[in-house]
Amino acid sequence: MTGFCWRKSGLLGDMEEDRLGRCRSVKEFEKLNRIGEGTYGIVYRARDTKSNEIVALKKVRMDKEKDGIPISSLREITLLLKLRHPNIVELKEVVVGNHLESIFLVMGYCEQDLASLLENMQTPFSEAQVKCICFQLLTGLQYLHESFIVHRDLKVSNLLMTDKGCVKIADFGLARAFSTPAKQMTPKVVTLWYRAPELLLGSTTQTTAIDMWAVGCILAELLAHKPLLPGSSEIQQIDLIIQLLGTPNENIWPGFSKLPLVGQYTVRKQPYNNLKHKFPWLSEAGLRLLNFLFMYDPKKRATAEDSLASSYFKEKPLPCEPQLMPTFPHHRNKRASGTGAESQCKRSKP
């Protein structure tokens, strides 16, 4: 791992250190407890013994990589180190383990993720709180999309929240950069619930619109306090979408009938949009925003900017201030450390 330094501060300035390529060792971090184990890596709450700071340490799995880190991953990490936004989790530096195949991402620590929070909360978020979370999510996403990054895996377990009510998008880009070929992943591992219809139907062009579909699913999930479209197979996922929004056609979605997988499914005929029945209490502006996020045609779907301008965020109840978000118990830290006995969050692995 020589010649290899990804310290944020060292990126542009500290040339000496860059040349020497000193990359800190993970030994400089005291692992406190495991907070998450997702598809691609284990995440620990840890203490930086040099600065005393509490951080999140994500071990990146690279089982299939025999020759070190793939160049695409290097590019991705370099890119992520440059991203700075209050609503994007901060990747501080990359440190190495004893072997070339283990590297760790050091990130700013966030006390909650929305999945474990939703699972453990006694009372659902109020609408003002939901708006506060979504507005922050959209603000972070606008920044990501402006930086030409599509997240591709937005879901509640990839949204973190600090005790100060600041929402941060996490786990972005990495899923793709560090992934083994997509074919080897079973549908059970890769979440379907937030997947846009164009992806389910085999479209290979992945635009920022796939993230916006996921935002629609997240907004609806926060409002209803349960996942909106919890499909357990791709076919069931498509079916759930159609039950909710009606059958797409060439008129509302030009190009739909030519999507690679359309012929493989017998798409049922369902002419109604049932969003209003699902959310009878939601205002017109709220329903308009949801419908805009759930446009079948990715080209017509709301962008982050469109969504931020929605009157839903300007009408009562107004989004609450992040600082006024309640603080919640730190459920993840109650788990035994390092035993692997922590309960798997069912939302993170639908």
Q: How far is CA 48 from its chain centroid?
A: 25
How far, in Å, CA of 274 to CA of 283, rounded?
15
State yes or no: residue 38 binds Mg ion (CB under 5 A).
Answer: yes
> Catalytic site residues?
153
Select from Mg ion, ligand ADP, none the partner in contact with residue 166, using the beta carbon and a kind-dependent cut-off of 5 to 8 Å: none
Provide the minimum distance between the beta carbon of 54 and Mg ion in the complex, in angstroms, as a whole number: 20
Residue 45: other Cβ atoms inside 10 A: 21
Q: Is residue 92 a known part of a binding site? A: no
State yes or no: residue 310 binds Mg ion (CB under 5 A).
Answer: no
CA angle at 140 for the pair 135 and 141, rounded to the nearest 5°: 95
CB 70 within 8 A of CB 60: no
Q: Which of the ranges 133-141, 166-174, 234-242, 254-262 carries the binding residues for Mg ion, by CB under 5 A? A: 166-174
Maximal C-alpha separation, the chain = 65
State yes or no: residue 158 binds Mg ion (CB under 5 A).
Answer: yes
- Find tokens 């300035």 and name the residue: 13
State yes or no: residue 286 binds Mg ion (CB under 5 A).
Answer: no
Select from Mg ion, ligand ADP, none the partner in contact with residue 46, using the beta carbon and a kind-dependent cut-off of 5 to 8 Å: none
Beta strand residue intervals within the chain, DSSP E: 29-37, 41-48, 54-60, 91-96, 103-108, 112-113, 159-161, 167-169
Provide the minimum distance between the beta carbon of 235 and ligand ADP in the complex, in angstroms, as a whole number: 25
CA angle at 105 for the pair 104 and 111, rounded to the nearest 5°: 120
Which tokens belong to 167? 């929402």
Provide the minimum distance between the beta carbon of 189 and ligand ADP in the complex, in angstroms, as a whole number: 10
Provide the minimum distance between the beta carbon of 188 and Mg ion in the complex, in angstroms, as a whole number: 15
Residues 6+ away with beta carbon under 8 Å from 54: 32, 45, 46, 47, 48, 109
Select from Mg ion, ligand ADP, none the partner in contact with residue 73, using the beta carbon and a kind-dependent cut-off of 5 to 8 Å: none
Which tokens belong to 222? 């926060």
Binding residues vs ligand ADP (CB under 6 A): 35-36, 38-41, 43, 56, 58, 89, 107-110, 113, 157-158, 160, 170-171, 175, 348
Which tokens belong to 202? 């085999």
Select from ligand ADP, Mg ion, none the partner in contact with residue 109, using the beta carbon and a kind-dependent cut-off of 5 to 8 Å: ligand ADP
Beta carbon nearer to ligand ADP, 43 or 242: 43
Beta carbon nearer to Mg ion, 160 or 222: 160
Select from ligand ADP, Mg ion, none the partner in contact with residue 40, using the beta carbon and a kind-dependent cut-off of 5 to 8 Å: ligand ADP
Interaction site with Mg ion (CB under 5 A): 38, 158, 171
Known binding positions: 58
